[in-house]
């Protein structure tokens, strides 16, 4: 599967991965400057966070597994910064 999305500078992509597969799946995430990030997922559930820069991001997902299911849900959030004033 391939697609893309628009991001603002400082946004965070959170990936919620729910997996029971016997094998592996690779998610390739490409930044607006075409830098590749490869995320390999197996048979366990996990959460990944990725800081984003402004622009069009694209991705594709491929993999081979014998059995099980995998769900990858991505959400974009604004990054929150806590500042302490003395």
Bridge-based pairing of strands 23-30 and 11-19 is unpaired
Beta bridge mates, 4: 58
Beta bridge mates, 39: 27
Spatial separation of the C-alpha atoms in residues 29 and 58, rounded to whole Å: 6
Show pLDDT as tens, one digit a residue, over the chain (86 residues). 788 888 999 899 999 899 999 999 999 999 999 999 999 999 999 999 999 999 999 999 998 888 999 988 888 886 444 444 43
Helix (H/G/I), strand (E/B), else coil: 16: strand
- What is the pTM (predicted TM-score) of this model? 0.80
Question: Do residues 37 and 29 make contact, with C-beta atoms less than 8 angstroms apart?
Answer: yes
């Amino acid at each position: 599967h391939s697609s893309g999305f628009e991001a603002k500078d400082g946004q965070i992509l959170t990936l919620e991965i729910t997996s029971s597969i016997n094998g592996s799946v690779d998610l390739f995430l490409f930044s607006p400057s075409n830098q590749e990030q490869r995320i390999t997922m197996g048979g366990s559930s996990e959460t990944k966070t990725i800081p984003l820069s402004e622009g069009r991001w694209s991705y594709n997902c491929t993999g081979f597994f014998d059995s099980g299911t995998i769900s990858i849900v991505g959400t974009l959030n604004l990054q929150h910064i806590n500042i302490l004033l003395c």
